[in-house]
């Protein structure tokens, strides 16, 4: 196996142990072993060490390994010492060279946060767990970049993480979607300044604007645009009715006070969207129906069908990233609390997931691909070759 693009990227990471004359293991060897282990369904440091021991002869064909395979403690310690900025730079270097191909539609980039349960540094304090906010290209599910923080720091908020991530991304021409945690007029303005449009979930944390939207749909001056999707699977029926209302119609005498107080701050707000959801399931031969309403708002100048497509795309971040990290990589079960171990592992998992998704010759899910990597070194090489940017 030749040294392809990923290995070259790993070799550019600064080694924090550079001044230590007692070094036994090269940084790129350690990081490569961890990547291989993550991609081969290893779920803790001991399993990565075991995997490397079993594949030692194979690893020697392209890694130097001057003192053999590092211990599990050494793997954890070295990964924890590396700067997260360096690891994230590695992820972004791979992504920047990866080409998804041409698409006729605008890119939809979804941002969402995920708490890593196993990363709590204070027992019993869930706010001390690491939060990773990631951006994915919804069509391919590729993770473009991530930022992190722990909420037990007084000055830190999830909105700050969203803001830092947005600032670091090239968003020109894209549509950015976020849940209500990132729905602030400052973040919306930041997205606009990047040359992108936004579609955000609207909940009661934006109480005034939420009230304006609710009032607007209750006071129908004329029939609004609607688009209906009906689906049936796994023993349930779902009906979603998307209704869109131009924000200009909100400026009426009935809600002038609410409009003036809350709408002008959102300088490019164009539409409110309501999604009425109706789910019917059969339990003990009895049909039960549940209903709910969700609200969104957007800077997009589009019809209701396009708005529905963008909303559905945003929900995909749960399946294509967060759920896969939990189910395939067992992210929440990994106990990583020392130094920058948790955040670096999280970034490395996201890059490993990208590589597994890009490999298309084996028609299996992510978890099956990971097990195939563990069983077949040739396939592990194939994953790296297929995912090497061109």
Q: Which residue range(s) make up the domain with 254? A: 95-326
Full-model pTM: 0.89
Are 196 and 139 found together in one domain?
yes
Q: In what order do the strands lie in the sheet with 197-202?
A: 142-150, 130-137, 108-116, 175-178, 197-202, 286-298, 271-283, 236-246, 225-233
User: Each residue of 47-58: pLDDT tens digit?
Assistant: 999 999 999 999
Are 16 and 153 found together in one domain?
no
Q: Which of 326, 350, 370 is the C-terminal boundary of a domain?
A: 326
Nearest 10 degrees: Cα torsion 241, 244, 249, 254 = 30
What are the pLDDT tens digits along the chain (390 aa)? 444 567 888 888 988 887 777 788 999 999 999 999 999 999 999 999 999 999 999 999 889 999 999 999 999 999 999 999 999 998 998 888 776 555 667 899 999 998 887 776 666 666 678 889 999 999 889 999 999 887 666 566 788 899 999 999 999 999 999 998 889 999 999 999 999 999 999 998 888 888 888 888 876 666 678 999 998 877 789 999 999 998 876 555 555 556 677 788 898 999 999 999 999 987 777 888 899 999 999 999 999 999 999 999 988 888 889 899 999 999 888 887 667 889 999 999 999 999 999 998 999 999 999 999 999 999 998 887 765 444
In the chain, the number of structural domains is 2
Are 105 and 246 found together in one domain?
yes
Cβ atoms of 355 and 329 closer than 8 Å? no
Q: Residue 173: phi, psi to the nearest 5?
A: 80, -5
Q: In sequence order, what DSSP letters do the residues of 274-322 get, joined into one string?
A: EEEEEEEEEETTEEEEEEEEEEEEE-----HHHHHHHHHHHHHHIIIII
Are 237 and 131 found together in one domain?
yes
Q: Is residue 189 included in any domain, yes or no?
A: yes
123: left (phi over 0), alpha (psi -120 to 50) or beta: beta
Domain harbouring 250, CATH code: 3.90.350
Q: Is residue 338 included in any domain, yes or no?
A: no
Give the pLDDT of residue 62. 85
Q: Is residue 335 included in any domain, yes or no?
A: no
Are 309 and 373 found together in one domain?
no
Give the pLDDT of residue 171. 94
Residues 126 and 129: their CA atoms lie apart, in Å, by 6
Q: Which of 307, 326, 345 is the C-terminal boundary of a domain?
A: 326
Give the pLDDT of residue 3. 47
Are 207 and 285 found together in one domain?
yes
User: Each residue of 96-118: pLDDT tens digit?
Assistant: 877 655 566 789 999 999 888 77
Give the pLDDT of residue 339. 73
Q: Which of 277, 302, 326 is the C-terminal boundary of a domain?
A: 326
Give the pLDDT of residue 67. 93
Give the pLDDT of residue 142. 92
Are 180 and 299 found together in one domain?
yes
Q: Is residue 77 included in any domain, yes or no?
A: yes
Give the pLDDT of residue 250. 58
Q: Is residue 331 included in any domain, yes or no?
A: no
Give the pLDDT of residue 389. 47
Give the pLDDT of residue 254. 53
User: Each residue of 162-174: pLDDT tens digit?
Assistant: 999 999 999 999 9
Residues 170 and 164: their CA atoms lie apart, in Å, by 12
Are 64 and 186 found together in one domain?
no
């Amino acid at each position: 196996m030749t040294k392809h693009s990923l290995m070259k990227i790993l070799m550019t990471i600064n080694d924090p142990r550079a001044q230590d004359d007692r070094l036994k293991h090269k940084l790129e060897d350690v990081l490569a072993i961890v990547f291989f282990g993550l991609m081969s369904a290893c779920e803790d440091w001991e399993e990565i060490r075991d995997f490397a021991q079993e594949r030692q002869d194979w690893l020697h064909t392209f890694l130097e390994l001057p003192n053999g395979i590092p211990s599990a403690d050494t793997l954890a310690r070295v990964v924890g010492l590396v700067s997260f900025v360096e690891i994230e730079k590695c992820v972004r270097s791979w992504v920047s060279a990866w080409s998804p191909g041409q698409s006729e539609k605008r890119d939809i980039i979804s941002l969402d946060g995920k708490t890593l349960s196993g990363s709590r540094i204070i027992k019993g304090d869930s706010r001390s767990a690491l939060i990773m906010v990631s951006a994915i290209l919804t069509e391919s599910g590729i993770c473009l970049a991530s930022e992190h923080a722990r909420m037990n720091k007084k000055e830190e908020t999830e909105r700050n993480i969203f803001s830092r991530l947005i600032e670091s991304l090239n968003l020109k021409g894209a549509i950015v979607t976020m849940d209500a945690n990132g729905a602030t007029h400052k973040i919306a303005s930041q997205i606009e300044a990047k040359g992108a449009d936004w579609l955000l979930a609207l909940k009661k944390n934006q109480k005034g604007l939420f009230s304006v939207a609710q009032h607007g749909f209750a006071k129908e001056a004329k029939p609004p645009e609607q688009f209906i999707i009906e689906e049936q699977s796994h023993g349930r029926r779902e009906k979603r009715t998307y209704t869109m209302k131009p924000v200009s119609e909100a400026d009426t005498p009935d809600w002038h006070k609410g409009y003036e107080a809350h709408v002008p701050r959102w300088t490019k707000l164009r539409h409110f969207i309501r999604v009425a959801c109706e789910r019917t399931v059969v339990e003990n031969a009895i049909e039960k129906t549940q209903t709910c309403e969700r609200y969104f708002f957007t800077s997009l100048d589009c019809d209701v069908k396009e708005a529905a497509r963008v909303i559905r795309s945003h929900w995909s971040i749960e399946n294509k990233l967060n759920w896969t990290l939990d189910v395939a990589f067992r992210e929440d079960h990994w106990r990583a609390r020392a130094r920058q171990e948790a955040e670096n592992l999280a970034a490395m998992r996201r890059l490993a997931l990208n590589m597994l998704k890009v490999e298309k010759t084996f028609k299996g899910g992510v978890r099956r691909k990971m097990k195939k990597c563990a069983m077949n070194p040739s396939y592990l090489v194939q994953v790296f070759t297929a995912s090497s940017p061109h």
